[in-house]
Amino acid sequence: MTTGRLLIVMNAGAGHSQAEASRAAIRAVLDAHGRAYQFFLADSGSALPQQAALAVQQALAEGGAVIAAGGDGTLNTVAQAVLPHSLPFGVLPLGTFNYFARAHGMPEDIKAATEALLSARIQPVQVGLLNERIFLVNASLGLYPTLLEDREAYKAQYGRSRLVALWAGLVTLWRARGRLRIVLEHDGQRSKLRTSMLFVGNNALQLAQLGLPSAQQVEQGALAALALRRTGLFTVLLLLLRGAIGQLHTADKVLHFTFQRISVRPRLPYGRRRIKVATDGEVGWMSSPLVFAVAPQPLLLLCPATMETPA
């Protein structure tokens, strides 16, 4: 259990009124227990890295723990700053799906999650890497980054809910036409693949919900790759239905395997060297080749005292 000050990084600009209410709830719990803390507030997502770096500097100076309050994207940004310094890292889930927090036993209720932090114990947990960028839940290229961009646009217009996220996904699939041609290098072998999406998972809970047997291997130190073979809209919708009921592994249009490192070379239009990717819900551009790998060092996660998390 860590006894240092809790240095809490939060995107105060995302859902402003909700962020204020969450901050008040966190304060109430910590004040009631006499626990020292400090907030590092970003007014937008682009300001999060700077606030995370300030929190890390403070933690290094005084021996505290850095806490990320937000969804998986916020957690990713803060963890990126924390990981190289081997500092204790805690999470307070405020997102839509909260896969990382849920997989490691953190309650989704903000008061209960703050209470859990007070008696949490450090457990090393696996982190994925896509080139120089870490991912806690998943990383992808192809259709999935487009789904995420459209989802955020719909959330901005209609609100942040899982129903809005589902509707945005259906609209994206209806409009999607692109296909990827990629070369995979895995265990010394090269193979060509044509797919609408390559998805790499580092979260056993998300993979188990999709019905993929690779969830267990992820808990034992691997990453899991999933690719949709070249398919039309109707087939993709059927695959989504299988995923929703946890039977994606039975679909013959899905390629899935586990690994610790793969290199991916997408075929890009002439003159273009970068491709759109997503890490934990955040979309950006990276240069080819793309290397997915298990990070050499674990994240020192503050988990509830009753939760045992595999290394």
pLDDT of residue 311: 41
C-alpha distances out from residue 125 to 29, 204, 250, 295, Å: 26, 12, 29, 10
Query: What is residue 153's predicted lDDT score, i.e. its pLDDT?
Result: 52
- Enter the tokens of residue 212: 């993929």
Complete DSSP assignment for 117-156? HHT-EEEEE--EEETTEEESSEEEEEHHHHHHHHHHHHHH
Res 233: pLDDT: 47
Q: Is the pTM of this model over 0.95?
A: no
Identify the bridge partners of residue 194 per DSSP, sorted by sequence position.
181
| Residue 110: partners with Cβ closer than 8 Å, 6 or more residues away | 22, 25, 26, 92, 93, 94
Q: Which two tokens stand for residue 176?
A: 């999607």
- Asked if omega into 266 is within 30° of 0 (cis), the reply is no
> Taking a C-beta distance cutoff of 8 angstroms, is the pair 26, 92 a contact?
yes
Q: Which of 176, 192, 306, 158 is nearest to 233 (CA)?
A: 176
pLDDT reported for residue 128: 98
Assign 75 to helix, strand or coil.
helix
Nearest alpha-carbon partner for 264 in 217, 236, 223, 235: 223
Which residue in 155, 1, 24, 168 sits closest to 90, CA to CA? 1
Question: Which amino acid is located at 48 in the chain?
Answer: L
Cα–Cα nearest to 199, from 255, 131, 158? 255
Segments of 154-307 assigned E as strands? 180-186, 189-201, 223-229, 254-259, 261-266, 274-279, 282-287, 290-294, 299-303
Where would I find the H helices in 214-265? 214-219, 233-244
- Provide the pLDDT for residue 163: 53
CA distance 241 to 151: 18
Q: What is the CATH number of domain 6-126+297-303?
A: 3.40.50.10330
Helix 72-82 vs helix 48-62: crossing angle, to nearest 10:
50
Architecture, CATH, for domain 134-294: Sandwich (2.60)
Q: How confident is the model at residue 15, as a pLDDT?
A: 60
Spatial contact of 302 and 2, defined as CB atoms under 8 Å apart: yes
Q: What is the pLDDT along the chain (311 residues), one digit of tens a residue?
A: 677 899 999 998 766 678 899 999 999 999 999 999 999 999 988 999 999 999 999 999 999 999 999 999 999 999 999 999 999 999 999 988 899 999 999 999 999 999 999 999 999 999 999 998 999 999 999 877 777 765 555 455 545 555 545 544 554 554 555 578 899 998 889 999 888 889 999 999 988 887 777 888 999 999 999 887 655 544 454 444 444 434 444 445 678 889 999 999 998 877 678 999 999 988 899 999 999 999 999 999 999 987 654 44
Q: Do domains 6-126+297-303 and 134-294 have the same CATH topology?
A: no
CA 144 to CA 223: how far, in whole Å? 17
Q: Sign (positive/negative) of CA torsion 232, 235, 239, 241?
A: positive
Taking the domains of the chain in order of start, what are their residue ranges? 6-126+297-303, 134-294
